[in-house]
Structure 1
Amino acid sequence: MIIKSKENAEHFIWGEICDGWHLVKTPTLSIIQERVSHGCSEVRHYHEKAEQYFFILSGEAEMEVDGKINILKRNQGIHIPAGIIHKLGNKSKEDLEFLVTSTPPSHGDRVLVEA
């Protein structure tokens, strides 16, 4: 077993200035640590098969779920079942760091939804 952290995990960039680190990447499970700069957000979407759990490590997230805005703070999390439209954003003045767990992995399973 290998101890994983941001320092030794596979890194990727999304949305031009946001970071992700694959802590676990198997055919059945994905755990990613992500950093979202202030003022940035994802696009509204859902996953056909993957269910996800977002857990805030630092900062404050604005998570829209089926049109309802939820504010998540440090040490809080939210479960997003498959098929539920959601969008995560960071409207605070500091960076947002969180873990997102997806099963099965959500890559290739995302369906974009217009505003």
Structure 2
Amino acid sequence: MMSVVNEKDLEYRFGDSGPKYLLRGPRMNFGIVVLKPGQDFPAHYHNIMEENFFIIEGELEIHIDNEIFHCKKGDLIHVEPKKVHYLVNRGNVDLKANFMLSPYQEKDKVDVDYKPSV
């Protein structure tokens, strides 16, 4: 089966920000995430799925197992399964990135209590 989806036809989880899924399975998830300046996405990990982020606009600070990476437009971030990751936009413009998760699992997100030291 083939399909075409336009991102403008779908909603972000938090209205004007957060994740938006363009594809959920059957083999991978694909979407867009927007974080406004100062906004973060809570720490979590996946047991089975790997997650990749590709920065389209803005900058992202991502914490992966307590290591901090400062990423910019054009960067690809690869997160292995079981690696805790926390995203925050410390810049002054919106962050927009694609995210891809595979192999597809319906429920594979484990939230983690993580407070970054700033």
> Same fold per TM (> 0.5)?
yes
The alpha carbon displacement at 1:114 in A equals 1.8
In structure 2, do the counterparts of structure 1 residues 44 and 106 end up closer, same or farther at CA, with 3 Å as the change threshold? farther
CA contact (8 A) 1:33 1:98 kept: yes
Identify the residue that residue 35 of structure 2 maps to in structure 1.
36
Identify the residue that residue 44 of structure 2 maps to in structure 1.
45
CA contact (8 A) 1:47 1:106 kept: no
Aligned residues: 113
Q: Distance in 2 between matches of 1:66 and 1:46?
A: 10
Q: Distance in 1 between matches of 2:35 and 2:106?
A: 18
Q: CA RMSD in A?
A: 1.8
Identify the residue that residue 111 of structure 1 maps to in structure 2.
110
- Which residue identity lines up with residue 19 of structure 2 in the other structure? G
What TM-score, normalized by structure 2, do the two folds share? 0.84
CA contact (8 A) 1:11 1:19 kept: no
- Point out where structure 1 has 5 or more consecutive residues left out of the alignment: none
Q: Distance in 2 between matches of 1:77 and 1:107?
A: 24
- Which residue identity lines up with residue 31 of structure 2 in the other structure? I
What TM-score, normalized by structure 1, do the two folds share? 0.86
* Mapped pair 1:12 → 2:12: yes
Q: Distance in 2 between matches of 1:47 and 1:60?
A: 23
CA contact (8 A) 1:37 1:95 kept: yes
User: What pairs up with 1:27-106 in 2 under 5 angstroms?
Assistant: 27-105=26-104
Q: Distance in 1 between matches of 2:7 and 2:19?
A: 9
Give % identity.
Answer: 25
The alpha carbon displacement at 1:100 in A equals 0.3
* Mapped pair 1:21 → 2:20: yes
Q: Distance in 2 between matches of 1:107 and 1:88?
A: 22
- Point out where structure 2 has 5 or more consecutive residues left out of the alignment: none
In structure 2, do the counterparts of structure 1 residues 54 and 107 end up closer, same or farther at CA, with 3 Å as the change threshold? farther
Q: Distance in 2 between matches of 1:98 and 1:107?
A: 22
Q: Distance in 2 between matches of 1:29 and 1:78?
A: 17
Instruction: Could you list the structure 1 runs, at least 4 aligned residues long, displaced by more than 4 angstroms after superposition.
Output: none
Q: Distance in 1 between matches of 2:70 and 2:105?
A: 23
